[in-house]
Amino acid sequence: MTFIYSNDHKRYHTWNYFLRERFGGKVFKVPIDGGFDCPNRDGTVAKGGCTFCSVSGSGDMIIAPTDPLPEQFVKEVDAMHQKWPSAQQFLIYFQNFTNTHAPVEIIKERYEQVIHQPGVVGLCIGTRPDCLPEETIDYLAEINEQMYVLVELGLQTTYEETSDRINRAHTYACYVDAVERLRKRNIEVCVHLINGLPGETPEMMVENVRRVVKDTDIQGMKLHLMHLIKNTKMIQDYENGTLKLMDKDTYVKTICDQLELIPPEIVIQRVTGDAPWDSLIGPMWSRQKWEVLNAIDEELVRRDSYQGKYNAREENYHA
């Protein structure tokens, strides 16, 4: 079969397809460490951070996180050119920690250092739903009139009991409100969910997707595997048996079940994730990323299925 939002035999709406259609060619995401903290670490809402979070706040892959922001951009692009010499279009990605957790004047000063660099066509911002006051959204709306803006909201789960267990320190209602306020300003939103959190069954993971699809007007989604990382508080859950690492077959099946509920126009930025090899405790099968991606493709073919087959937004959808 040919999926409507694919030109490379995928049965889901890939980020690569979306970018090529929107910008007329390949676009590269340039990760930047903006020097922001997290309200869940500095005491604003809690301390200690999410139990799965590493000391770098998901910025383990950034090449030179302590360099000035323009230098970070240059080094990241130079590294990309080693593999893709013709790379010309870039999205600035403020990736780690909470990149709207500061007064808007500071946010503006940091963003403006890199969003006007050569070849930059857009801005992606990793943040939390409880760090989006109206003045910040106003500023993002201004940038959105000049270039593509995508706000990536870390939600991870819709279940309050799981959120409490991982010390997320915000509610699902807070996330729903943040998406509504962003969409009123025509700012696109990508939600992050983690499969394999302590206490969650595959059925709950599928329900996470059903809820965000039905409750919020999102344009993108990242589905992550729960990676257990050294020196994180999540290790306590693993040692006391409340965290069971997912096996590959269960993960692949769960991803396909989730994809079937997601409307086809929603861009799937990720169906698994990367973790630093030297700090990964498990699941170790996740290191073979292409095998996981191929297994997802194969399972969709086996099912004769695709993204949106059981679209949770359709009137005839039955839970």
Q: State the CATH number of the domain containing residue 183.
A: 3.20.20
Contact status, residue 59 vs residue 97, Cβ threshold 8 Å? yes
135-148: pLDDT as tens digits: 999 999 999 999 99
82-113: pLDDT as tens digits: 999 988 999 999 998 899 999 999 999 999 99
Prediction pTM value: 0.94
pLDDT tier at 211, thresholds 50, 70, 90: very high
Q: Tell me which residue of 197, 189, 48 sits closest to 127, measured CA to CA.
A: 189
At which residue do the structure tokens 């769960």 appear?
Answer: 254
**Length of the chain as a residue count:** 319
Whole-angstrom Cα distance, residue 178 to residue 185? Answer: 11
Whole-angstrom Cα distance, residue 183 to residue 82? Answer: 38
Cβ-count burial of 9 within 10 angstroms (0-12 exposed, 13-18 middle, 19+ buried)? exposed
The number of domains in the chain is 1
- Domain membership of residue 147 (yes or no) is yes
- Domain membership of residue 315 (yes or no) is no
- Domain membership of residue 316 (yes or no) is no
The CA-based angle 256-267-31, given to 5 degrees, is: 110
161-171: pLDDT as tens digits: 999 988 888 99
- Domain membership of residue 87 (yes or no) is yes
At which residue do the structure tokens 């009123």 appear?
Answer: 184
Could you tell me the residue range of the domain that residue 179 belongs to? 15-303
Least confident of 27-31, 53-57, 72-76, 189-193: 53-57
- Domain membership of residue 236 (yes or no) is yes
